[in-house]
Amino acid sequence: MRCGLLGRVLGHSYSPMIHGMLGQYSYDLFPTEPEALDALLRGDAWDGLNVTIPYKKTVVPYCAELSETAEKLGSVNTLVRRADGTIYGANTDYDGFCYLVRQSGIPVAGRKALVLGSGGASVTVCAVLRDLGAASVTVISRSGPDNYENLERHADAQIIANTTPLGMYPNTGSAAVDLRAFPRCEGVFDIVYNPARTALLLQAEQLGIPCAGGLSMLVAQAKRSAELFTGTEIADGRVAEIERAVRARLENIVIIGMPGCGKSSVARRLGERLGREVVECDAYIEQQAGKTIPEIFAEGGETAFRRLETEALRELGKRSGIILSTGGGCVTRSENYPLLHQNGTIFWLLRSPWKLPSDGRPLSQAESAEAMYARREPMYRRFVDVKIDNEGAIERAVEAIARKVLL
Protein backbone atom coordinates (compact mmCIF):
# COMPACT_ATOMS: atom_id res chain seq x y z
CA MET A 1 0.00 0.00 0.00
CA ARG A 2 1.37 3.41 -1.03
CA CYS A 3 0.56 6.25 1.34
CA GLY A 4 2.06 9.62 2.07
CA LEU A 5 1.74 13.30 2.90
CA LEU A 6 0.59 15.87 0.35
CA GLY A 7 1.47 19.52 0.81
CA ARG A 8 3.60 22.29 -0.60
CA VAL A 9 6.57 22.44 1.81
CA LEU A 10 7.14 19.23 3.79
CA GLY A 11 10.77 19.12 4.90
CA HIS A 12 9.99 19.43 8.63
CA SER A 13 7.37 16.66 8.79
CA TYR A 14 7.36 13.96 11.48
CA SER A 15 4.63 12.02 9.65
CA PRO A 16 6.83 9.39 7.92
CA MET A 17 8.31 8.40 11.28
CA ILE A 18 4.90 8.19 12.96
CA HIS A 19 3.25 6.20 10.17
CA GLY A 20 6.25 3.87 10.14
CA MET A 21 5.26 2.94 13.70
CA LEU A 22 1.56 2.64 12.87
CA GLY A 23 1.24 0.34 9.90
CA GLN A 24 2.72 -1.95 7.28
CA TYR A 25 2.58 0.44 4.36
CA SER A 26 4.99 2.77 2.63
CA TYR A 27 4.70 6.44 3.53
CA ASP A 28 6.37 9.09 1.39
CA LEU A 29 6.34 12.85 1.09
CA PHE A 30 4.56 14.40 -1.91
CA PRO A 31 5.69 18.06 -2.01
CA THR A 32 3.50 19.47 -4.76
CA GLU A 33 3.14 22.87 -6.38
CA PRO A 34 -0.42 24.02 -7.19
CA GLU A 35 -0.02 23.51 -10.93
CA ALA A 36 0.91 19.83 -10.38
CA LEU A 37 -1.85 19.04 -7.88
CA ASP A 38 -4.51 17.90 -10.35
CA ALA A 39 -2.21 15.39 -12.03
CA LEU A 40 -1.15 13.94 -8.69
CA LEU A 41 -4.69 13.54 -7.38
CA ARG A 42 -5.92 11.94 -10.60
CA GLY A 43 -2.82 9.77 -10.98
CA ASP A 44 -2.10 6.31 -9.58
CA ALA A 45 0.97 7.07 -7.43
CA TRP A 46 -0.90 6.71 -4.14
CA ASP A 47 -3.54 4.71 -2.28
CA GLY A 48 -3.89 6.96 0.77
CA LEU A 49 -2.81 10.52 1.51
CA ASN A 50 -2.69 12.89 4.41
CA VAL A 51 -3.18 16.48 3.27
CA THR A 52 -1.63 19.56 4.82
CA ILE A 53 -1.22 23.27 4.04
CA PRO A 54 -2.37 24.65 1.63
CA TYR A 55 -4.59 21.94 0.12
CA LYS A 56 -7.11 20.88 2.79
CA LYS A 57 -9.95 22.73 1.07
CA THR A 58 -8.61 22.38 -2.47
CA VAL A 59 -8.92 18.58 -2.47
CA VAL A 60 -12.61 18.55 -1.44
CA PRO A 61 -14.02 18.62 -5.02
CA TYR A 62 -11.97 15.53 -5.89
CA CYS A 63 -13.81 13.44 -3.29
CA ALA A 64 -16.78 11.30 -4.32
CA GLU A 65 -17.77 11.02 -0.66
CA LEU A 66 -16.89 12.89 2.51
CA SER A 67 -17.02 11.84 6.12
CA GLU A 68 -19.64 13.61 8.21
CA THR A 69 -16.97 15.72 9.93
CA ALA A 70 -15.21 16.65 6.68
CA GLU A 71 -18.50 17.68 5.11
CA LYS A 72 -19.42 19.78 8.13
CA LEU A 73 -16.04 21.53 8.22
CA GLY A 74 -15.44 21.76 4.48
CA SER A 75 -11.88 20.61 5.09
CA VAL A 76 -10.16 17.30 4.30
CA ASN A 77 -6.82 16.04 5.62
CA THR A 78 -7.13 12.33 4.68
CA LEU A 79 -7.78 10.84 1.25
CA VAL A 80 -8.39 7.15 0.57
CA ARG A 81 -8.60 5.74 -2.95
CA ARG A 82 -11.30 3.09 -2.96
CA ALA A 83 -11.39 -0.11 -5.02
CA ASP A 84 -13.54 1.51 -7.71
CA GLY A 85 -11.02 4.34 -8.11
CA THR A 86 -13.12 7.01 -6.39
CA ILE A 87 -11.75 9.07 -3.51
CA TYR A 88 -13.09 9.18 0.05
CA GLY A 89 -12.23 12.27 2.09
CA ALA A 90 -12.11 12.54 5.87
CA ASN A 91 -10.99 15.01 8.52
CA THR A 92 -8.90 13.26 11.17
CA ASP A 93 -7.55 16.57 12.50
CA TYR A 94 -10.84 16.74 14.40
CA ASP A 95 -10.04 13.40 16.08
CA GLY A 96 -6.51 14.59 16.79
CA PHE A 97 -7.42 17.85 18.49
CA CYS A 98 -10.21 16.18 20.43
CA TYR A 99 -7.65 13.67 21.74
CA LEU A 100 -5.22 16.49 22.60
CA VAL A 101 -7.80 18.35 24.69
CA ARG A 102 -9.00 15.26 26.52
CA GLN A 103 -5.50 13.94 27.25
CA SER A 104 -4.35 17.32 28.55
CA GLY A 105 -6.96 17.27 31.31
CA ILE A 106 -7.65 20.96 30.67
CA PRO A 107 -11.41 21.55 31.05
CA VAL A 108 -13.01 23.57 28.24
CA ALA A 109 -16.72 23.07 29.00
CA GLY A 110 -18.34 26.32 30.08
CA ARG A 111 -15.18 28.34 29.33
CA LYS A 112 -14.67 31.30 27.01
CA ALA A 113 -12.20 30.25 24.30
CA LEU A 114 -10.08 32.29 21.90
CA VAL A 115 -8.77 30.58 18.76
CA LEU A 116 -5.78 32.35 17.22
CA GLY A 117 -5.84 32.16 13.42
CA SER A 118 -8.57 31.79 10.84
CA GLY A 119 -7.24 29.10 8.48
CA GLY A 120 -8.36 25.51 7.96
CA ALA A 121 -6.95 24.32 11.27
CA SER A 122 -8.87 27.06 13.06
CA VAL A 123 -12.18 25.75 11.69
CA THR A 124 -11.41 22.29 13.08
CA VAL A 125 -10.27 23.54 16.48
CA CYS A 126 -13.37 25.75 16.81
CA ALA A 127 -15.62 22.78 16.04
CA VAL A 128 -13.97 20.60 18.68
CA LEU A 129 -14.16 23.30 21.35
CA ARG A 130 -17.84 23.91 20.63
CA ASP A 131 -18.60 20.17 20.63
CA LEU A 132 -16.81 19.82 23.98
CA GLY A 133 -19.05 22.48 25.50
CA ALA A 134 -17.09 25.73 25.41
CA ALA A 135 -19.35 28.60 26.46
CA SER A 136 -18.14 30.70 23.53
CA VAL A 137 -15.50 30.39 20.82
CA THR A 138 -14.07 33.52 19.21
CA VAL A 139 -11.65 33.52 16.27
CA ILE A 140 -8.85 36.10 16.38
CA SER A 141 -7.53 36.99 12.93
CA ARG A 142 -5.38 39.74 11.47
CA SER A 143 -8.21 41.60 9.77
CA GLY A 144 -11.55 40.32 11.12
CA PRO A 145 -13.81 42.09 13.64
CA ASP A 146 -11.93 40.33 16.45
CA ASN A 147 -8.25 40.93 15.79
CA TYR A 148 -4.91 41.45 17.49
CA GLU A 149 -5.51 45.20 17.79
CA ASN A 150 -8.60 44.80 20.01
CA LEU A 151 -7.64 41.83 22.16
CA GLU A 152 -8.47 43.80 25.31
CA ARG A 153 -12.15 43.08 24.71
CA HIS A 154 -11.33 39.40 25.31
CA ALA A 155 -9.14 39.80 28.41
CA ASP A 156 -11.53 37.45 30.24
CA ALA A 157 -10.70 34.52 27.93
CA GLN A 158 -10.11 31.27 29.82
CA ILE A 159 -8.84 29.05 26.99
CA ILE A 160 -6.31 30.08 24.32
CA ALA A 161 -5.74 27.83 21.27
CA ASN A 162 -3.08 28.73 18.70
CA THR A 163 -3.66 27.51 15.13
CA THR A 164 -1.22 29.92 13.44
CA PRO A 165 2.29 28.87 12.33
CA LEU A 166 3.86 31.48 14.61
CA GLY A 167 6.65 29.90 16.62
CA MET A 168 6.99 26.90 14.30
CA TYR A 169 10.39 25.60 13.20
CA PRO A 170 12.58 27.14 11.86
CA ASN A 171 11.15 30.51 12.96
CA THR A 172 10.95 29.67 16.65
CA GLY A 173 10.69 32.16 19.50
CA SER A 174 7.61 34.15 18.47
CA ALA A 175 4.01 33.99 19.68
CA ALA A 176 0.75 35.51 18.45
CA VAL A 177 -0.20 36.90 21.88
CA ASP A 178 1.23 37.73 25.29
CA LEU A 179 -0.57 35.56 27.84
CA ARG A 180 -0.21 38.22 30.51
CA ALA A 181 -3.08 40.00 28.73
CA PHE A 182 -5.40 37.17 29.86
CA PRO A 183 -5.37 37.04 33.68
CA ARG A 184 -8.22 34.49 33.80
CA CYS A 185 -6.57 32.05 31.39
CA GLU A 186 -6.88 28.42 32.59
CA GLY A 187 -5.40 26.52 29.67
CA VAL A 188 -3.34 26.95 26.49
CA PHE A 189 -3.21 24.71 23.42
CA ASP A 190 -0.77 25.08 20.53
CA ILE A 191 -1.15 22.76 17.53
CA VAL A 192 2.48 23.41 16.48
CA TYR A 193 4.56 20.30 17.28
CA ASN A 194 8.06 21.46 16.29
CA PRO A 195 9.45 22.80 18.57
CA ALA A 196 7.97 20.70 21.34
CA ARG A 197 7.50 23.85 23.42
CA THR A 198 6.69 26.96 21.43
CA ALA A 199 7.22 30.43 22.83
CA LEU A 200 3.52 30.47 23.72
CA LEU A 201 3.79 27.22 25.69
CA LEU A 202 7.00 28.32 27.39
CA GLN A 203 5.26 31.46 28.60
CA ALA A 204 2.31 29.38 29.81
CA GLU A 205 4.72 27.20 31.80
CA GLN A 206 6.37 30.29 33.26
CA LEU A 207 2.98 31.67 34.33
CA GLY A 208 1.83 28.34 35.75
CA ILE A 209 -0.96 27.90 33.18
CA PRO A 210 -1.70 24.28 32.14
CA CYS A 211 -0.75 23.79 28.49
CA ALA A 212 -0.35 21.19 25.74
CA GLY A 213 1.51 21.13 22.42
CA GLY A 214 0.62 19.63 19.08
CA LEU A 215 2.50 16.32 19.04
CA SER A 216 -0.30 14.28 20.60
CA MET A 217 -2.74 15.78 18.08
CA LEU A 218 -0.41 14.82 15.23
CA VAL A 219 -0.07 11.23 16.42
CA ALA A 220 -3.79 10.82 17.17
CA GLN A 221 -4.86 12.09 13.76
CA ALA A 222 -2.24 9.85 12.12
CA LYS A 223 -3.64 6.85 13.99
CA ARG A 224 -7.14 7.57 12.69
CA SER A 225 -5.77 8.09 9.17
CA ALA A 226 -3.93 4.77 9.36
CA GLU A 227 -7.19 3.05 10.29
CA LEU A 228 -8.82 4.55 7.19
CA PHE A 229 -5.87 3.60 4.96
CA THR A 230 -5.82 -0.03 6.10
CA GLY A 231 -9.40 -0.68 7.20
CA THR A 232 -7.97 -2.01 10.47
CA GLU A 233 -8.67 -0.70 13.96
CA ILE A 234 -5.66 0.38 16.02
CA ALA A 235 -5.73 0.34 19.82
CA ASP A 236 -6.04 3.80 21.38
CA GLY A 237 -3.06 3.06 23.62
CA ARG A 238 -0.76 3.16 20.60
CA VAL A 239 -1.09 6.96 20.47
CA ALA A 240 0.62 7.47 23.83
CA GLU A 241 3.23 4.79 23.05
CA ILE A 242 4.17 6.41 19.75
CA GLU A 243 4.18 9.90 21.26
CA ARG A 244 6.67 8.71 23.90
CA ALA A 245 8.82 7.05 21.23
CA VAL A 246 8.87 10.20 19.08
CA ARG A 247 9.81 12.37 22.06
CA ALA A 248 12.57 9.95 23.07
CA ARG A 249 14.00 10.08 19.56
CA LEU A 250 13.66 13.79 18.82
CA GLU A 251 13.92 15.68 22.11
CA ASN A 252 17.37 17.15 22.64
CA ILE A 253 19.47 16.09 25.60
CA VAL A 254 20.95 19.31 26.99
CA ILE A 255 23.78 19.02 29.52
CA ILE A 256 24.58 21.95 31.80
CA GLY A 257 26.94 22.21 34.74
CA MET A 258 30.07 23.81 36.13
CA PRO A 259 33.26 24.03 34.04
CA GLY A 260 35.15 20.76 34.43
CA CYS A 261 32.20 18.73 35.75
CA GLY A 262 32.46 16.21 32.88
CA LYS A 263 29.88 17.53 30.40
CA SER A 264 31.95 16.81 27.29
CA SER A 265 32.99 13.32 28.41
CA VAL A 266 29.46 12.34 29.40
CA ALA A 267 28.02 13.78 26.17
CA ARG A 268 30.53 11.87 24.05
CA ARG A 269 29.86 8.55 25.78
CA LEU A 270 26.13 9.16 25.75
CA GLY A 271 26.29 9.82 22.00
CA GLU A 272 27.95 6.43 21.54
CA ARG A 273 25.37 4.80 23.80
CA LEU A 274 22.34 6.27 22.03
CA GLY A 275 23.70 6.70 18.51
CA ARG A 276 23.07 10.45 18.56
CA GLU A 277 24.94 13.44 17.20
CA VAL A 278 26.89 15.29 19.90
CA VAL A 279 27.36 19.05 19.61
CA GLU A 280 29.83 20.97 21.79
CA CYS A 281 28.55 24.52 22.12
CA ASP A 282 32.01 26.01 22.70
CA ALA A 283 33.40 24.23 19.62
CA TYR A 284 30.43 25.49 17.59
CA ILE A 285 31.12 29.07 18.77
CA GLU A 286 34.80 28.76 17.80
CA GLN A 287 33.83 27.44 14.37
CA GLN A 288 31.35 30.25 13.75
CA ALA A 289 33.64 33.00 15.08
CA GLY A 290 36.83 31.67 13.53
CA LYS A 291 38.56 32.22 16.88
CA THR A 292 39.34 30.20 19.99
CA ILE A 293 37.43 30.84 23.22
CA PRO A 294 40.50 32.41 24.91
CA GLU A 295 40.92 34.71 21.88
CA ILE A 296 37.27 35.79 22.09
CA PHE A 297 37.68 36.59 25.80
CA ALA A 298 40.94 38.44 25.17
CA GLU A 299 39.41 40.61 22.44
CA GLY A 300 35.92 41.31 23.79
CA GLY A 301 35.72 39.96 27.31
CA GLU A 302 32.93 37.84 28.76
CA THR A 303 30.19 40.12 27.36
CA ALA A 304 31.25 39.42 23.77
CA PHE A 305 31.50 35.71 24.46
CA ARG A 306 28.05 35.51 26.10
CA ARG A 307 26.52 37.27 23.10
CA LEU A 308 28.08 34.72 20.74
CA GLU A 309 26.97 31.91 23.05
CA THR A 310 23.33 33.04 22.94
CA GLU A 311 23.47 33.29 19.15
CA ALA A 312 24.83 29.74 19.02
CA LEU A 313 22.15 28.40 21.36
CA ARG A 314 19.47 30.13 19.29
CA GLU A 315 20.51 27.96 16.33
CA LEU A 316 21.40 24.76 18.17
CA GLY A 317 18.25 24.79 20.30
CA LYS A 318 16.09 24.52 17.16
CA ARG A 319 17.60 21.19 16.23
CA SER A 320 16.04 17.87 17.16
CA GLY A 321 17.56 14.69 18.53
CA ILE A 322 21.00 16.02 19.42
CA ILE A 323 23.06 15.86 22.59
CA LEU A 324 24.13 19.41 23.40
CA SER A 325 27.01 19.98 25.78
CA THR A 326 26.86 23.61 26.90
CA GLY A 327 29.39 25.96 28.37
CA GLY A 328 29.39 26.23 32.14
CA GLY A 329 28.12 29.81 32.15
CA CYS A 330 25.22 29.52 29.71
CA VAL A 331 22.87 29.77 32.70
CA THR A 332 24.04 33.30 33.48
CA ARG A 333 21.71 34.69 30.77
CA SER A 334 18.03 34.01 31.37
CA GLU A 335 17.23 34.34 27.65
CA ASN A 336 19.14 31.09 27.07
CA TYR A 337 16.58 29.02 28.98
CA PRO A 338 13.79 29.05 26.36
CA LEU A 339 16.37 28.39 23.63
CA LEU A 340 17.48 25.21 25.41
CA HIS A 341 14.09 24.13 26.73
CA GLN A 342 12.03 24.56 23.54
CA ASN A 343 13.18 21.19 22.21
CA GLY A 344 15.19 19.77 25.07
CA THR A 345 15.31 18.17 28.48
CA ILE A 346 17.98 19.92 30.55
CA PHE A 347 20.25 17.71 32.67
CA TRP A 348 22.39 19.33 35.37
CA LEU A 349 25.63 17.37 35.83
CA LEU A 350 26.68 17.63 39.47
CA ARG A 351 30.23 17.35 40.80
CA SER A 352 31.68 18.79 44.01
CA PRO A 353 33.33 22.19 43.38
CA TRP A 354 36.62 21.17 44.99
CA LYS A 355 36.97 18.37 42.40
CA LEU A 356 36.72 20.72 39.41
CA PRO A 357 39.84 21.53 37.33
CA SER A 358 40.49 25.10 36.18
CA ASP A 359 43.26 24.72 33.58
CA GLY A 360 42.56 26.45 30.26
CA ARG A 361 39.23 27.93 31.35
CA PRO A 362 39.27 31.75 31.21
CA LEU A 363 36.72 32.44 33.93
CA SER A 364 38.02 29.68 36.20
CA GLN A 365 41.26 31.64 36.51
CA ALA A 366 39.45 34.69 37.95
CA GLU A 367 37.68 33.07 40.94
CA SER A 368 37.69 29.82 42.84
CA ALA A 369 35.39 26.97 41.78
CA GLU A 370 33.66 27.20 45.16
CA ALA A 371 32.90 30.92 44.71
CA MET A 372 31.72 30.40 41.13
CA TYR A 373 29.47 27.52 42.19
CA ALA A 374 27.92 29.57 44.99
CA ARG A 375 27.13 32.34 42.51
CA ARG A 376 25.78 30.07 39.75
CA GLU A 377 23.99 27.40 41.77
CA PRO A 378 20.63 29.31 41.85
CA MET A 379 20.91 29.78 38.08
CA TYR A 380 21.40 26.06 37.46
CA ARG A 381 18.33 25.38 39.59
CA ARG A 382 16.24 27.71 37.43
CA PHE A 383 17.27 25.86 34.25
CA VAL A 384 17.34 22.21 35.31
CA ASP A 385 14.79 19.49 34.53
CA VAL A 386 16.80 16.54 35.87
CA LYS A 387 19.82 16.44 38.21
CA ILE A 388 22.51 13.84 37.46
CA ASP A 389 25.25 12.89 39.93
CA ASN A 390 28.71 12.70 38.32
CA GLU A 391 30.85 12.17 41.40
CA GLY A 392 31.82 8.63 40.40
CA ALA A 393 32.38 6.73 37.16
CA ILE A 394 31.20 8.48 34.00
CA GLU A 395 29.25 5.39 32.94
CA ARG A 396 26.91 5.81 35.90
CA ALA A 397 25.98 9.32 34.77
CA VAL A 398 25.61 8.15 31.15
CA GLU A 399 23.24 5.33 32.13
CA ALA A 400 21.25 7.61 34.43
CA ILE A 401 20.57 10.00 31.56
CA ALA A 402 19.87 7.16 29.10
CA ARG A 403 17.28 5.66 31.46
CA LYS A 404 15.46 8.99 31.71
CA VAL A 405 15.45 9.45 27.94
CA LEU A 406 14.37 5.90 27.08
CA LEU A 407 11.55 5.65 29.65
- The residue from 40, 61, 91 where one domain ends is 91
- Rounded to two decimals, the pTM is 0.92
User: Does any domain span residue 217?
Assistant: no
Task: Write the single-letter amino acid at 39.
Answer: A
Which SS3 state, helix, strand or coil, does residue 52 take? coil
End-to-end CA, the chain: 32
Angstrom distance (rounded) from CA 167 to CA 150: 22
- Same domain flag for 77 and 123: no
Exposed e or buried b per residue across 329-341, where buried means at least 16 C-beta atoms within 10 angstroms of its C-beta: bbbeeeebbbbbb
User: Does any domain span residue 119?
Assistant: yes
Q: How many domains does the chain have?
A: 3
- Same domain flag for 197 and 144: yes
- Same domain flag for 122 and 197: yes
Angstrom distance (rounded) from CA 217 to CA 54: 19
Provide the pLDDT for residue 328.
Answer: 94
- The residue from 91, 114, 145 where one domain ends is 91
Task: Tell whether omega for the bond before 54 is within 30 degrees of 0, i.e. cis.
Answer: yes
- Same domain flag for 370 and 267: yes
Catalytic residues: 56
Question: The domain that contains 304 carries what CATH number?
Answer: 3.40.50.300
Cβ neighbours for 63, distance < 8 A, ≥ 6 positions apart: 70, 76, 79, 87, 88, 89
- Same domain flag for 284 and 358: yes
User: Does any domain span residue 317?
Assistant: yes
- Same domain flag for 199 and 115: yes
- Collect the ranges in the chain with pLDDT lower than 50: none
- Same domain flag for 265 and 390: yes
Provide the pLDDT for residue 406.
Answer: 85
Domain hosting 295: range is 251-406
User: Does any domain span residue 97?
Assistant: no
- Same domain flag for 186 and 156: yes
- Same domain flag for 58 and 114: no
- Same domain flag for 278 and 399: yes
User: Does any domain span residue 172?
Assistant: yes
- Same domain flag for 68 and 176: no
User: Does any domain span residue 357?
Assistant: yes
Provide the pLDDT for residue 366.
Answer: 66
- Same domain flag for 313 and 386: yes
User: Does any domain span residue 227?
Assistant: no
- The residue from 91, 125, 147 where one domain ends is 91
Question: The domain that contains 13 carries what CATH number?
Answer: 3.40.50.10860
DSSP string, 152-215: GGGTT--EEEE-S-TT-TTSTT--SS-GGG-TT--EEEE---SSSS-HHHHHHHHHT--EE-SH
Instruction: Find, among 67, 58, 71, 64, the residue nearest to 85 by Cα.
Output: 64
User: Does any domain span residue 17?
Assistant: yes
Mind listing the pLDDT tens digit for each residue in 380-392? 999 999 999 999 9
